Amino acid sequence: MQLSKEQLMIQKMAREFARKDLMPMAAERDQKHEYPADSLKKMGELGLLGMLVPEEYGGEDMDTVSYALAMSEVAYACASTAVIMSVHDSICCGSLLRFGTEEQKQKYLVPMAQGEFVCSFALSEPEAGSDPAGMETTAVRDGDHYILNGTKRWITGGATSELFIVLAKTDPEAGHKGISAFLVTKDMEGFSTGRLEDKMGQCASDTTDLLFNNCRVPADHLLGKEGQGFVVAMSGLDDGRIGIAALSLGVGQAALDQAVEYSKQRVQFGKPIAKNQGLRWMIADMATDVEAARLLVLNAAAKKDNGQKCSKEASMAKLHASEMANRVTGQAIQIHGGYGYTKEFPVERLYRDARVLTIYEGTSQVQKVVIANDVIGDKKKGKK
């Protein structure tokens, strides 16, 4: 795919920032579970936290291809920072842009796009992940407020974000049509966060429960119309999946580069291991895997930019890229041998960071359902 001069400039800017600011701190932040607050502030100043938002709301009004390129560069340096960027940019800013009132956009979207604070998306629950209709969090109208009760789980940025888009049932009998979306700030009465999850990877990005105990949310903080929450959630899936696919691409590329560099330096039997045919074939497979992911990501992003339906392509990109990241990071550790199993080398962190990529923003199995339904032509109620 031929990139424009503007897209190449954005890629270069993101790469230079990520390699200079994020990469030197990535291992330490991972070990200390340290949120990258300073880096996020700089990213806001560079426009990386409002890439898809129009200029009239404080954003950069960039295309999806540029967003994917920047995301890959950030993830190459630090996957923890990249997932914060992905949730904030694609799902949260996008949802406010599509469904927010003018007042909501001015109050929340403008400062979000400028990186003044980070927003998180709260959909998953202890008993509801891939099936949003199974959520148990409720929102009951009480005069000029809604009263929220329930628990949200696996929320990226739960302890650090200032604003949350929370999905809750306003009509428990209506299934997915009874779900509504709300803008919740951390200072609202009845809202608190649970313990920090002790995760396998992406440790500089906090993940917590959100607890709602008769949380009073002003009625004007309803995002979209009552009963439109499922539509709000689904509307951001293409952007979100392209974002995570691009994140996966960055992790996979980083692992490939680390493996190539190490194979040239490591000497066994009197020669660099890069001279061994078996290892060269491993690297050839890894490079092909990464490049296939890159083309799928850019294809999905380009189709979206062209106004074409891209749900299948976004799912294909997310499916392949996330599985690729797991394969390639595993092969990178194999090439490093015992050293790859230690925290002395970056591939150990990349391997841990990659594992969750096949789970969030829709599991690999969910992506296959989406792809198969599109290819086969199944409708929700039968077949064509």
Tell me which residues are annotated as active site.
Answer: 361
Q: Please name which of 43, 31, 111 lies closest in space to residue 71, comparing C-alpha atoms.
A: 43
276: Cβ–Cβ under 8 A, 6 or more apart, which residues?
A: none
How many angstroms separate the Cα of 292 from the Cα of each of 83, 322, 324, 349?
22, 12, 9, 23
User: Residue 318 class from Cβ within 10 Å (0-12 exposed, 13-18 middle, 19+ buried)?
Assistant: buried
CA atoms within 13 A on the CB side of 28: 6
Is residue 216 within 8 Å of residue 190, measured between CB atoms?
A: yes
Q: What is the CA radius of gyration of the chain?
A: 21
How many whole angstroms separate alpha carbon 87 and alpha carbon 79? 12
45: Cβ–Cβ under 8 A, 6 or more apart, which residues?
A: 115
Q: Please name which of 199, 289, 202 lies closest in space to residue 253, comparing C-alpha atoms.
A: 289
